[in-house]
Amino acid sequence: MGLTKQYLRYAPSGTFNIIASADCNSAHVSLNGISGRYIAVGACEHVIIWDMRIGEKAQVIPGENVVVSQIAASPTGNHMAVGYVDGNINVFELTNNEIVCVFAGHKSPVTSLQYDEQGHRIVSGSKDTEVILWDVVSETGVARFSGHKGAITSVLFINGKNCIISSSKDTFVKFWDIETKHCFKTLGGHQVEVWSAVLLKEERYLVTGSMDQELRVWKLNWTDKMKEEDKLVQQLEIVKIEETDNTEDTSVLQCHQVGTLVRGGRGRVVGLCTDLGQTVLGCFGTDSLLELFIFCSDDEAKARMTKRVKKQKKKLAKLKESGEADGDMVEVKELLTLSDEVRRLTSVKLSAKIKSASLLLGMTGELRVGVTLANNTVEMHSLKLGEENDVKCLKQITQPGHQKEPRCVAISSDNLAIISAAADSIKLWNRTSQACIRTIPVPCGRPCAVCFLPGDRHAAVGCADGTLLLIDVAAATVSEQIPAHTGACNSVGLLPDLRGCYTGGADKTVKIWQFELILDPTGDSKAKVLSLLHTRTLELEEAVCAVRVSPNNKFIAVGLMDSTVKIFFLDTFKFYLSLYGHKLPVLCLDISYDSTLIATGSGDRNVKIWGMDFGDCHKSIFAHNDSVTALQFVPSTHYLFTASKDGKIKQWDADTYENIITLNGHAGACWCVCVGAGGLVSAACGADGALRLFTRTDEPLVLGDLDEQEEGLATGEQHAPVPGLPGLVMPTKKTIGAEKAADSILECLSVGAEYEREVTAARGQHVPVPLLMTAYNCTTAEDFLLETLRKIRSSDLEEALLLLPLNAAGEMVRLVGALLSRAGGEHAELLARAACFLLRVHRAPLLADTNHLKHLIQIQARAHMRINELRDMVGCNLHALQWARREVEADRSEQLFRVSTGQRRARHARTKLRHALKRPIVSIT
C-alpha cells in the first residue's frame, strides 16, 4: 500500500446572522405553559424560538443539511412539526429537541403543514401536488391524496367532519374525505391561482385569497344530518344569496360564495392566517400592510343586522315622506349579509414586506400579531379588539442580524472576531458565542470587500461606489471615507509587510495605500488616528475584479474582466506574466504562502492552478456547477477553499488536485469565504443571509469514503401505485432507511432460518447462537425478528416490507404467528400491523398456500385476542386516570372552600376588632 496523505475534517460549528428566513412561515408556540410570548421561525436549516419579551433566543431546534420550509406547532404545545425543502417532515419534542418521528413522503419542498385539534394527525402539502395525511401517534402515513395539477398552497383540517381542504395553484380548492381517501367536492370559482385558504368561525366559512384585490368568502353547509324540508329551505336561501351557484342535491357539502372582502393591499395575496379560535382573519400581500378582519359572533352579527335594517328603514321612510321614493317600494328584508358577519379591524403598517404572520387571541380580547419581514426581522404587535386604538409594537428584533444579505466576511488575526458587511450595516461578531458585538451603519454604497487591518482594531471596507471606508472597530464608527475609485472597489487586502494596503476597482486601477497616523480631524481628542495615504497607482486596460500581493512582497496579481490574470512586479509595476485560459472574467484569486502557486477562480466554473515561476497552468479543475465567487489558500499549506454561486464550499489540495471535502454551503449563492490564522476556522456568507462557521477538527479524513448522499443513493422514488396493486398508493416513499431496514429483515430471516436448521440437525445437542443474534440478546429466531422490527423506524416499516420477496414474506408470517401465540401482547400492535400489510401486498399467493393460510388463521385469532387485551388495558388506565382526576378536583374544591371560609372568618375578625377599637374612642370623645 502506498503512502497516503492525511487530512483533517472541517465541521460546521455555527450558523448566525439569521433572525428569520423569508421562505418559511412563523408560528406562536407555548413554552413552559406560557403562550403569547414565543414565536417560532425558520432560520435556514434550524428553527429558532424567539422570546419576544426580552428579544433573545429561547430555544433552537437544530437541523442538519436541509433548509426549513414550513413549521407547525402542536395544539398541545409538546411537539413541533418541521417540513424541509427535500420533502421530509420531522416532529420534534420541544422539551428536549429530540426527533419523535420522521415522515418521508414528498419529493418537493413542503409548502403547508397543519395539526388537527387533538394534535394526533398532521396533513402536509407540497410542490409535488400531493397532500399526505400522517398519524403522529403510530408514526406512519395514513393516506396520499392525488388530484391537484399544481403546487399545494394550503391544507386545512375540518375537524368536525373528518375532512381535509386543500388549495392549489391549479385554481382549484378540493375537499377530501379521510375515510374513503377520495375527493368529494371541488371548488372551481377561481380564475387564477389560489394562494391561501383558511377556515373561520367554527369551520363554517372558508376564505380564499387569489391574485386580485378580493378575498372570496364561502359558506359551508353540511347536508348529511338535515331534514329534507330544512335542505329545501337552505337551498332556496342559497339561490337567493348566490343565484349563479349551482346547488347539488346529492352532495354532502354545499359550498356557496356569500361575498367578498376587499383588500387594501397591493399585489397578490401572499398569505392568510387566523387564530386558534378562528375568529380573526389576517391577510397580507406583496407589500408591507397586514389587514385584519374579525368574524363576529352570532349575537353580535344579529345585532349589527338589526341596526343596519333599522337605519335602512328610517332612510326609506324619509325618502317616502319627501316623495323621492315610490310608495310601493319594497320593504327592507332582514337577511344576514357578509357585512354583518365581518368587521374590519385596524391594519398594521410595517417597515418592510411581510413574509409570514401568525395570530394569537387572548382571553382578555388582546390580539397578538407576530410577523417576519423580508429584511430579516421579527416583530410582535398588540391590538385590543374591543377598542379602536392604534396597534402597539411590543418588540422588534433586528440587532442579531443584517437586514440585507452579507456580501463579504473576514476573520481577525487572532481568530476571535469576525466582521461582515452588507448594504445596510457592518457588524462585528464574537466567534465563540456568535453574538453581534458592534453594528456600524454603512454611509455609502454596498460593501464589496472587507479586511482587518494590523492590530484588529480597524478594518477597511471597499464599497460599490468606489469609497474606501476606514472603520474603528472598538468605537463602532466610520473614522474616514476615502474616495478611492471612480468605479466599484472590488478588492481590498493587506500588504505582506503590514505597512499598507491595496485596492482594486472597476475604474481599471489598482492603488497602493500606506498607513499613517494623523491628528483627529474632528477635534474631539488630541490623540492621533489611523489614516491612509495614497502612494502609487497601477493603470490597467480592463476593470479589476480581484487583486492579490504575493507573500514574499515581490509580485502583485490582478484578475481582469477580459478573463486574464496579469502579474506585475510590486516595486516597479513592471509587467511579469500574463495567465491566459479562462473563458469568463476571473472573479477571485490567491497566492500560496511560499509564493510558488497562484490559484484563480472564474465565471466559467473552473479553478486553475498556475506556477508563479513560469506562469504555466498546472491543473484546470472543473470545481463547481456555477461561477466561482471566492478562493483562498489555507495559511502555511497548499490547501485552498473555494466558494461558488451553486452554494457549495469545497476544499482542494493544490499539489494532488483532489477535492478534500465538500461542505454544506448555502441555500443559494455563496458570496465569500475566508480562512482564519492557522486554518483553524473558516467563515462564509451567502445569498440565504446566513454566516456559516466551519472549524477544523481532529478527525482524520480519508479520501474516497464518500457519504451515502454523495454516492447518489436513492433518497426517494416515485410514489406511483405499487406494480400489480393499483389500489395500493403508499403515503411514504422509498428511502435509504427503508432499504437498510429491508436488508436487516432479510439478514434476520436468513440467520434465523440457518440457526433453526442447525438446531434441528443437532437433535438436542447444544448449538452456539450466531453472533448477530447474540448481539441482539436473542436465543430464538422469533425473538430476533421481533428485535429487528422494533429497531426499524415506524415510518419506514411499510416501505421495508414492500421490498421483501414472497418467500421472505411467508417466513415472516410464520414467525409472527409464533410470536403472537406467546403470553403478553406488548408488541402485538407492531406484529399485527406487519402481518396485515404483508397480507395486503401478497394476498393471493399467501391465501393459496395451505401452510401460509394456517398461519394467517392463527394470526387472526391471536392478534384479535392481544389487541383486545391492549384495548382493555388502555380503557382501564383511562378510567383510572379519570377517577383520579375527579378525586383531585373534589379535593381541590374542598380545599378552596376551606381557604375561602378561613379568609372570610379572618376578615370578619379584623372587622370586629376595628369596631371594638372605634367604640371606646367614640365614647371618650
Average pLDDT of the residues in 99-108: 91
Query: How far apart are alpha carbons 804 and 107 in whole angstroms?
Result: 23
User: Which SS3 state, helix, strand or coil, does residue 858 take?
Assistant: helix
Residue (of 789, 793, 842, 849) closest to 820 by Cα position = 789
- List, in order, residues 6 or more apart from 308 with CB less than 8 Å away: 339, 340
Query: pLDDT by residue (tens digit) across 700-745?
Result: 887 765 544 444 434 444 444 555 555 567 787 888 888 888 999 9
For the chain, the first-to-last Cα distance in angstroms comes to 115
Residues 6+ apart with CB under 8 A from 890: none
The confidence score (pLDDT) of residue 713 equals: 39
CA–CA distance, 753 with 759 (Å, rounded to integer):
10
| Beta carbons of 718 and 435 less than 8 angstroms apart | no
Q: For the chain, list the domains and their CATH numbers.
A: 13-223+252-307+338-375 (2.130.10.10), 402-539 (2.130.10.10), 541-702 (2.130.10.10), 736-873 (1.25.40)
Dump pLDDT digits (tens) for 617-628: 999 999 999 999
Mean pLDDT of 597-602: 96
pLDDT in tens, 488-545: 999 999 999 999 999 999 999 999 999 998 887 776 777 788 899 999 999 999 999 9
**Residue 157 · residue 117 · CB < 8 Å:** yes
Cβ pair 735, 41 in contact under 8 A: no
Q: Hey, which bits of 17-162 come out as E strands?
A: 26-31, 34-43, 46-51, 56-61, 68-73, 79-84, 88-93, 99-104, 110-115, 121-126, 130-135, 140-146, 152-158
Return the ∠ at Cα 384 (arms to 51 and 203), rounded to 5°: 85
Q: Closest Cα to residue 422, out of 442, 437, 438?
A: 442
What number is the average pLDDT over the span 362-373?
A: 91
Element (H, E) at 318: helix 298-322
Q: 82: which strand partners?
A: 71, 90
The tens digit of pLDDT for each residue in 684-701 reads 999 999 999 999 999 888
Decide the pairing of beta strands 354-361 and 348-349: unpaired
The pLDDT tens digits of the residues spanning 116-151 come to 999 999 999 999 999 999 999 888 889 999 999 999
More confident residue, 301 or 333: 301
This prediction has a pTM of 0.85
Q: Residue 907 and residue 915: Cα distance in Å, rounded?
A: 13
DSSP state of 267: S
pLDDT tens-place string over residues 814-859: 888 888 887 566 788 888 888 888 888 888 888 888 888 888 888 8
φ/ψ (deg, to 5) at 384: -90, 125
What is the reported pLDDT for 722? 59
pLDDT cut 70: percent of the chain above it: 89
pLDDT of residue 895: 63
DSSP sequence for 703-757: TT---TTTTT--S----PPBTTBTT---SS---HHHHHHHHHHHHHHHHHHHHHH
In the numeric block, which cell numbers belong to residue 654? 493544490
